[in-house]
Structure 1
Amino acid sequence: MVSVSPRLRDSLDYEEPEATDPRFSLGFRSLDLATNGYDQYELQYDHRPFSGFPKTGAIERKRRRRQSDQVLDYAVPFQYRTTADGEAFRLALLLPGTGTSPVECRLIWESSKRPKREYACLSYCWETVERTTAILCDGYRFPITKNLLMALQKVRKPTIGIHIWIDQICINQDDYQERAHQVSIMKYIFSNAKEVIVWLGEAGDRSAKLCEYARRMARGQHAPNDRYSPKSALNRIMNQRQLQDALQRLLERPWFKRVWVIPEVALSHFSVVAIGDSTVSWDNLVRLIRDTQLPQSAGFDKQTALLGNPRQRIAIITQMSASQSKGLFHTDIMQLLILAKSSQATDVRDKVYAFYGVTLLRTHPYYGEIPDRKTSIERLYVEIACHYVNSILYDDYYSRWHGLNEARRTQQLMSILYSAGRLHQHHNLPSWVPDWTYAWYQAPLWCKTESNLATLLPRDDWSAGIRSDHRAGGERRETFEIIDAATARHQLRVSALIFDSILETYEATPAMTLSEEHGPLEPSDSATALHSPTLSYGRDFFKTTKGFFGMATRGIRQNDTVVLLLGGDVPFVLRAFNRESNGTKTFMLLCECYVQANSVMVGDYMRTEWSRSEDITIL
């Protein structure tokens, strides 16, 4: 047994890796230098990676299970002896096997920038951090989660070994410094992989028929000349109602809610989706989702009303993947907020770190901030908000990559504020900083939630399709800058038109009366928003001192201020402080809001009154 230095220098960019890093030499393993005949385990590309279990009897399966348990029970626990740093990462050689026989693998080193082996990456959902089962890794007992064990039993081949990257095995999850480093090179690991295998779990809910339906639809296996049943071949697999139900249940699987799966698919050249023994390419699955209209339910429907709903997530991921393949940094702050706040993560800092490889993110992943983890999370969220505001405003490199004109720049800046607000925060943050852990639970007023799957617009053009029809703040943005306070809590100075103050709040839709100053409320299609069960969900109604009615997030109260930020699409509710900062009025941002008046929501009021706007400070 030969141990290596746990830290090797990182300056490998301009040198041959073999000359500086012995881990990339032939035969080097994670635990010793002995060679064990790796040459016989060459990855053979196979469109059917899951060959299925042998059809053995119940007695034989139980006997194999007992043998497997005995082998694992007597194995010595695995320990990492080296650290993955520089451009090195571990790769698992998954040995041949079938059925419930013990899963075995060996760890080898590979270069993230110049890999010599073809390998796959596994994208799956941990579901829990409890590792209740185990495999054999380099002959040692290695604990893993149950879902990963099922995936490995399906992925492995009966007669040949395959090289595959699996985060739970290839990264020492207890070494925070190694985790941070491996996240920083994740872009190279996934973009250099031959394929990404997306494991959605065991078969069920007509998943096998769903995969067959997607494959046949992609091949055009229907009868277009049959006037009575133009898709008769597909209908023999599933009728439309069964298809909708199967697709709905598929999108409810845990994989579609996790944050780390987003960059894993976005960075891949080719992804194959596996459910039990069935497989379908990612592109064919996306095509099926795009062409299948799910049934609409009455009232508030999370599947369509919330930002980051499954169809919208898939659309954004697909657009990200297309842009990454062309070498474009497509992902912007609006996409990140939509995806992250709708995702789940074991470590909430991953809601930022997961996107390190798919955007111009400069916040280097660091998990070792101890002992006060909560403080480090708050500092991270403030840092990332400041980074994006300053990049959008002042970084020409960022603007060129994203093709930002002034309208798009304003839209991205305002999306940060719409995603923030004290009524939408768990952590103690400046009120203008988004809390990435606070999930979307209301239908947004500032944008639409359509998936844009049909258009797949390039670069940042996708954002034009989800922008709302409101233009309350007009098209002109003036002051928008970050101010560092003496207390080191960042403040934001913006130009705003103070519109009105809240006189009363209601839990139910109030009876409409005449406005003392403006006469009868203006009839419009948008006025029906107050009566929309989708938009009113999670919101209270209010009446202003000028007689206007509107709605905003629950938690608003009397004397809160309604303002129009220059360049914003919808109004905001702010709460005043009894002090001034740098000679400007000081407020706390609460939430976005809706005012039932066309003149306000389409921007007519701003166009006539913009000269009364002033700079205010948001704490």
Structure 2
Amino acid sequence: MVSISPRLRDSLDYEDPEETDPRFSIGFRSVSLASTEYEYLELQGDHRTWSGSPDPAASRRRRRQRTSDRLLLEHAVPFQYRTIADGDVFRVVTMLPGERSKPIQCRLSWENSRKPRYDYRCLSYCWETTERDSAILVDGYRFPVTQNLHNALLSLRNVKSELRIWIDQICINQEDHEERSYQVSIMKHIFTNAKEVIVWLGEADDKSAKLCEYARKMPRGEHVVRDSPKNALKRILGQRQLQDALQKLLARKWFTRVWVIPEVALARFNTVAIGNELISWDNMVRLIRDTPMPEATGFDKQSAILGNPRQRIAILSQMVASQRENLYHTDITQLLILAKSSEATDLRDKVYAFDGITLLRTQIDYRDLPDYIRSVERVYLNIAHHYIDSITSEDYYSRWHGLTEVRRTQQLMSILYSAGKLHQHLDLPSWVPDWTFAWYQAPLWCKADSNMAAFSGRDGWSAGIRSGYRAGGEKLETFEFVDGAAGRRRLRVSALLVDTVLQVGALAGETGACMRLLTQGQISQASTPDAIDLPTFSYGRDHFITEHGLHGLATTGIAPGDRIAVFLGGDVPFVLRPNRDQDGDDQIFVLLCECFISSKGIMGGEHTQNNWTLAEDIILK
């Protein structure tokens, strides 16, 4: 049973933590590691001395490690958290020195997130699984950990010196929702005040050591003479070998997790670890940026969808630049791209993970803690509502970032392009993004390019990925909330209803008709810069024909009778489904998805420019 915190207050800002919080006093731990109670856990049967390493044989090391792990799992007393970590305090792991074949021994101590007393580091890694099938000793007790964390600790442990490091799996009681809420609320301070964040990408593979060597020796700057270094680099890895090794690196699970985003973005300094190899974060980013990847044929997830590995690295790099310039990062387009492309054990973390790196709150009130009891649907609805309110109603958001009206409009529209009933698993209003529904199509409303060049603290990155379409022009009109049935919020927007879907898929004459129009040049390439890449943009989409005889592409699931609408300020049209309410209001629609129409006038914005006075307010439910 976890006891209540012994402190009287949750904040230590105005008091000496060593005098007010008994957790900072000497001896506030479960047991001393000086105890001889676990002497029987020492390895038996092989006490030979080896030169340079305790055991040079890899197979023997693994066997001895398995033996020590088994003894830990079978005999040591299980660890129990006895005090809740709340307010501004958090736990820090001190990993004791040891040889690779010995059990990992740690002790826990308390630290103040706002005024840390001693230096510490943070570990950024991927759980990979919730199964904790390995074990370490924490304060003399058996503590189960995942295999990937165990591998990381083995690689990071020093044979002579201690390592103070924050590790979420150990320092947070993951079974206590209240403690998790407190710890998420101070995560910004934990990572900002850390001396260094160590990014553990996993165990070494057949090319990772050479890849790290290549990254360390790459020339820096545009004015470096590259001929000689380039020849030296080729001796490390040839071009094809380099591309293969980099693709393997980017396929590692670490690049898909949501919590690694704030961990890297908030750090003073990042070091990347792969097995026993270490490189700086900047070296890894330069390697990814300067290595051209082979052209893919057909639909390629590594380059076609939003949140692909290279794009994630680019967004993370801009967030790092924001941190270095003491700026909060609040580019909603980037938050949407990262959240929907990330994985999280708790689905609420897809928005809570951004709590410490943005001016935007993830709670209704700034005094509230992240709520792990509230339903996922309610959390997503609240955050979408707050994102929209922040742009349309709260001046501080625009003033802080110097957003123009065009940029404000672009960020609002990115919320709607991330939503739609055909892109939702959860029961949400159609205008709310479902962060559990990952990107799986090439977007029409923006580009999936990495945009590696825009590494500034300000929100310049998103402008570089905007699509070439301007269907709704640049001017935003109505964009506001209205109350709906059963207290559910609806969104009122200004739109031009330009056409109606007549036939879909195989019923639309020949399904390749639209594609032939594109390839034969009957649709201007200037007005359709992205749709020329046919295999990429047709993946996951159906062809359709409208009542006016136009061809188009839209997500599978549209049906005859659905309306094609252009929202004022939007880049590409939407598909809407009429949804008349009990009062007979025929201006209520369900947002389905974005779409492409084979009309230069519509996609280029001429139709909106000539008919904007005919726009009407519609309601999305």
TM-score (structure 2 length as normaliser): 0.90
After superposition, the Cα gap between the structure-2 partners of 1:36 and 1:363, relative to the gap in structure 1 and judged at 3 Å, is farther
Q: CA deviation at 1:230?
A: 6.0
- 2:213 equivalent in structure 1: 212
Q: Is the 8 A contact 1:207 1:275 kept in 2?
A: yes
Counterpart of 2:168, as a letter, is: D
Q: Aligned runs of 1:299-448 on 2, under 5 Å?
A: 299-364=298-363, 365-369=369-373, 376-448=375-447
CA distance in 2, matches of 1:460, 1:584: 39
After superposition, the Cα gap between the structure-2 partners of 1:131 and 1:65, relative to the gap in structure 1 and judged at 3 Å, is closer
After superposition, the Cα gap between the structure-2 partners of 1:124 and 1:513, relative to the gap in structure 1 and judged at 3 Å, is closer
Q: CA deviation at 1:510?
A: 4.0
Q: Aligned runs of 1:8-407 on 2, under 5 Å?
A: 8-25=8-25, 27-31=26-30, 54-57=54-57, 62-63=63-64, 65-67=66-68, 69-218=70-219, 224=225, 231-364=230-363, 365-369=369-373, 376-407=375-406
Match of 1:578, SS state, is: coil
Q: CA deviation at 1:513?
A: 12
Counterpart of 1:121, as a letter, is: C
CA distance in 2, matches of 1:468, 1:66: 57
Counterpart of 1:181, as a letter, is: Y
Q: CA deviation at 1:321?
A: 1.0
> Residues 328-359 of structure 1: CA distance to partner in whole angstroms, max 9, x if unpaired?
11232211110011111111111011111111
CA distance in 2, matches of 1:514, 1:168: 54
User: What RMSD, in angstroms, separates the aligned Cα atoms of the two structures?
Assistant: 2.6
Q: CA deviation at 1:390?
A: 0.5
After superposition, the Cα gap between the structure-2 partners of 1:608 and 1:65, relative to the gap in structure 1 and judged at 3 Å, is closer
Q: Is the 8 A contact 1:118 1:193 kept in 2?
A: yes
- 1:570 equivalent in structure 2: 572
Q: Is the 8 A contact 2:360 2:390 kept in 1?
A: no
After superposition, the Cα gap between the structure-2 partners of 1:3 and 1:179, relative to the gap in structure 1 and judged at 3 Å, is closer
Q: Is the 8 A contact 1:524 1:598 kept in 2?
A: no
> Residues 164-204 of structure 1: CA distance to partner in whole angstroms, max 9, x if unpaired?
00000000000011001101100000011111111111100
Counterpart of 1:252, as a letter, is: A
- 1:587 equivalent in structure 2: 589
Q: CA deviation at 1:30?
A: 4.0
CA distance in 1, matches of 2:179, 2:570: 42
After superposition, the Cα gap between the structure-2 partners of 1:617 and 1:522, relative to the gap in structure 1 and judged at 3 Å, is same
Q: Is the 8 A contact 1:24 1:109 kept in 2?
A: yes
TM-score (structure 1 length as normaliser): 0.90
1:609 to 598, 608, 611: 611
CA distance in 1, matches of 2:170, 2:475: 52
After superposition, the Cα gap between the structure-2 partners of 1:72 and 1:492, relative to the gap in structure 1 and judged at 3 Å, is same
CA distance in 2, matches of 1:513, 1:89: 58
Q: Is the 8 A contact 1:581 1:617 kept in 2?
A: no
Q: Is the 8 A contact 2:116 2:193 kept in 1?
A: yes
CA distance in 2, matches of 1:550, 1:324: 43
Q: CA deviation at 1:23?
A: 1.8
> Residues 535-590 of structure 1: CA distance to partner in whole angstroms, max 9, x if unpaired?
11110011111111111000001010001101111000000023387967110000
Q: Is the 8 A contact 1:407 1:475 kept in 2?
A: yes
Match of 2:611, SS state, is: helix
After superposition, the Cα gap between the structure-2 partners of 1:190 and 1:233, relative to the gap in structure 1 and judged at 3 Å, is same
After superposition, the Cα gap between the structure-2 partners of 1:339 and 1:419, relative to the gap in structure 1 and judged at 3 Å, is same
- 1:45 equivalent in structure 2: none
Counterpart of 2:566, as a letter, is: L
**Sequence identity (%):** 60
- 1:539 equivalent in structure 2: 541
Q: CA deviation at 1:514?
A: 13
After superposition, the Cα gap between the structure-2 partners of 1:12 and 1:584, relative to the gap in structure 1 and judged at 3 Å, is farther
Q: Is the 8 A contact 1:176 1:366 kept in 2?
A: no
Q: Is the 8 A contact 1:579 1:585 kept in 2?
A: no
Counterpart of 1:554, as a letter, is: T
1:554 to 541, 545, 556: 556
Q: CA deviation at 1:218?
A: 4.6
CA distance in 2, matches of 1:435, 1:457: 29
- 2:499 equivalent in structure 1: 500
Q: CA deviation at 1:56?
A: 3.1
After superposition, the Cα gap between the structure-2 partners of 1:545 and 1:269, relative to the gap in structure 1 and judged at 3 Å, is same
CA distance in 1, matches of 2:515, 2:161: 76
- 2:489 equivalent in structure 1: 490
Residue segments in structure 2 that go unaligned for 5+ positions in a row: 36-51, 364-368
Is the deviation greater in 10-19 or in 402-411? 10-19
Q: Is the 8 A contact 1:119 1:163 kept in 2?
A: yes
Q: CA deviation at 1:440?
A: 0.3
Q: Is the 8 A contact 1:200 1:274 kept in 2?
A: yes
Match of 2:513, SS state, is: coil
Match of 2:587, SS state, is: strand
CA distance in 1, matches of 2:341, 2:162: 37
Q: Is the 8 A contact 2:468 2:528 kept in 1?
A: no
- 2:45 equivalent in structure 1: none
Match of 2:499, SS state, is: strand
Q: Is the 8 A contact 2:69 2:134 kept in 1?
A: no
Match of 1:460, SS state, is: coil
Q: CA deviation at 1:15?
A: 2.3
CA distance in 1, matches of 2:598, 2:135: 59
> Residues 19-51 of structure 1: CA distance to partner in whole angstroms, max 9, x if unpaired?
3222223x243437x7979xxxxxxxxxxxxxx
Q: Is the 8 A contact 1:526 1:596 kept in 2?
A: no
Q: CA deviation at 1:438?
A: 0.4
CA distance in 2, matches of 1:506, 1:146: 47
CA distance in 1, matches of 2:200, 2:370: 28
Match of 1:503, SS state, is: strand
Q: CA deviation at 1:362?
A: 2.1
Q: Is the 8 A contact 2:454 2:460 kept in 1?
A: no
Is the deviation greater in 86-95 or in 483-492? 483-492
Q: Is the 8 A contact 1:527 1:597 kept in 2?
A: no
Q: CA deviation at 1:484?
A: 2.3
After superposition, the Cα gap between the structure-2 partners of 1:588 and 1:64, relative to the gap in structure 1 and judged at 3 Å, is closer
- 1:48 equivalent in structure 2: none
Q: Is the 8 A contact 1:30 1:109 kept in 2?
A: no
> Residues 389-434 of structure 1: CA distance to partner in whole angstroms, max 9, x if unpaired?
0010111112222222211110011000000000000001000000
Q: Is the 8 A contact 1:80 1:172 kept in 2?
A: yes
Q: CA deviation at 1:285?
A: 0.5
After superposition, the Cα gap between the structure-2 partners of 1:68 and 1:126, relative to the gap in structure 1 and judged at 3 Å, is closer
CA distance in 2, matches of 1:596, 1:543: 10
Match of 2:151, SS state, is: helix
Is the deviation greater in 522-531 or in 131-140? 522-531
CA distance in 2, matches of 1:225, 1:142: 50
Residue segments in structure 1 that go unaligned for 5+ positions in a row: 38-51
After superposition, the Cα gap between the structure-2 partners of 1:62 and 1:554, relative to the gap in structure 1 and judged at 3 Å, is closer
Q: CA deviation at 1:223?
A: 9.9
Match of 1:174, SS state, is: coil
After superposition, the Cα gap between the structure-2 partners of 1:327 and 1:599, relative to the gap in structure 1 and judged at 3 Å, is same
